[in-house]
């Protein structure tokens, strides 16, 4: 466990340099890889061998080729491409060097702006969320299992790339959707939906909303949010649930997908570790079901339930409640 940073960093660099994209076009020797990428031959040999040891490349008579896992997750043309998330991790990797400072001070390592300050940061972050969701299959699971009986309008609050909403609308042909998010994010959302969801996009309205500063549009029959509450502190989450209550029509649904922790905040393991990511980059953490249910109840929601996504491959849960 203590040395896992070395493996993660090696994968990030191999992806960023373009090794997997190059080998997707055919096998190469280490000298050929180095020549095409403009890297040092000896260092390239070491990195390629490390990828073989990790099971991401295969080596035969001095030539390297993609493993099945790399072909599935590390090539941009794959529908399960995970590279967006890996490149986001690469960009924030330096913040881990300041974790001790954040533990001592309680302050994040960067201004918590939801990566809105620079277009390249916004693009990287939103594509990372899309990449992770598609690679792991979260959106397909939600679309298949979320009970939307009677729902005709649904808003994805903080919907980012629109991955969840597009999957929901493909599954439910009579539902109209909206993505409520920040202006810089919605520029990326529009590009992603135009690239991949031109048909579904006709049923999606993009609405600029800062849920911390303004009330939410409405009414809608359902509000969905994925990985939103973990970015905010407790008081803001309580206010957000009240805003959602006002935006949902009577009898409507709210659904939150997130790492939902046990009372001790130690399980699931991925959520406990991810809270350190959140310490470095946001004002939030991962919360327990009791905390989330408390905010929902205080806002007026009833019939709060938790539905665990199957593990593996997931580490999240879905919390649902109704407005009376």
The vertex-235 CA angle with 88 and 254, nearest 5°, equals 75
Q: DSSP E strands: which ranges in 219-323? A: 220-226, 248-258, 260-261, 287-288, 302-308, 317-322
Asked if 57 and 67 touch (Cβ cutoff 8 Å), the reply is yes
Superfamily of domain 111-322: Vaccinia Virus protein VP39 (3.40.50.150)
Of 184, 306, 287, 180, whose CA–CA distance to 238 is shortest? Answer: 287
| Topology of the domain covering 4-75 | Arc Repressor Mutant, subunit A (1.10.10)
pTM for this predicted structure: 0.95
Per-residue pLDDT, 202: 93
Asked if 293 and 222 touch (Cβ cutoff 8 Å), the reply is no
Averaged pLDDT in 10-residue chunks for the chain of 324 residues = 96 98 97 98 98 98 98 97 98 97 97 94 97 96 97 98 97 97 98 94 97 96 98 98 98 98 97 98 98 98 97 95 98
Per-residue pLDDT, 100: 98
d(CA 290, CA 263): 7
The per-residue DSSP string of 167-203 comes to HHHHH-TT-EEEEEE-HHHHHHHHHHHHHH-HHHHTT
Per-residue pLDDT, 314: 95
10 Å Cβ neighbour count for 56? 25
Burial of 55 (0-12, 13-18, 19+ CB in 10 A): exposed
Residue ranges, CATH 3.40.50.150, the chain: 111-322
d(CA 301, CA 112): 29
Residue ranges, CATH 1.10.10.10, the chain: 4-75
Per-residue pLDDT, 12: 98
d(CA 268, CA 315): 7
Per-residue pLDDT, 15: 98
65 Cβ partners below 8 Å, 6+ apart?
23, 26, 27, 57, 58
């Amino acid at each position: 466990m203590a040395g896992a940073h070395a493996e993660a960093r090696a994968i990030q660099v191999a992806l960023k340099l373009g090794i997997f994209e190059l080998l997707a076009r055919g096998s190469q020797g280490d000298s050929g890889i180095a020549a095409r990428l403009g890297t040092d031959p000896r260092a390239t040999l070491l990195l390629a061998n490390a990828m073989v040891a990790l099971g991401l490349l295969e080596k035969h008579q001095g030539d390297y080729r993609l493993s099945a896992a790399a072909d599935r997750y590390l090539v941009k043309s794959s529908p399960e491409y995970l590279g967006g998330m890996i490149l986001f991790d690469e960009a924030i990797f330096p913040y881990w060097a300041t974790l001790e400072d954040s533990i001592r001070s309680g302050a994040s390592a960067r201004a918590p702006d939801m990566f809105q300050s620079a277009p390249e940061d916004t693009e990287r972050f939103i594509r990372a969320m899309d990449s992770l969701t598609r690679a792991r299959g979260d959106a397909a699971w939600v679309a298949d299992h979320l009970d939307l009986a009677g729902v005709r309008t649904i808003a994805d609050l903080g919907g980012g790339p629109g991955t969840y909403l597009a999957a929901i609308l493909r599954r439910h042909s009579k539902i109209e959707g909206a993505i409520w998010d920040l202006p810089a994010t919605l520029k990326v959302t529009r590009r992603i939906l135009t690239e991949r969801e031109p048909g579904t996009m006709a049923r999606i309205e993009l609405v600029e909303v800062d849920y911390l500063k303004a009330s939410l549009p409405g009414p809608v029959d359902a509000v969905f949010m994925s990985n939103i509450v973990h970015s905010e502190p407790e008081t803001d989450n309580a206010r957000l649930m009240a805003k959602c209550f006002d935006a949902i029509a009577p009898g409507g649904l709210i659904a939150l997908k997130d790492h939902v922790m046990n009372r001790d905040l130690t399980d699931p393991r991925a959520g406990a570790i991810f809270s350190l990511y959140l310490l470095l980059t946001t004002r939030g953490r991962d919360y327990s079901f009791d905390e989330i249910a408390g905010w929902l109840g205080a806002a007026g929601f009833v019939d709060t339930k938790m539905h665990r996504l199957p593990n593996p491959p997931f580490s999240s849960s879905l919390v649902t409640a109704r407005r009376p």
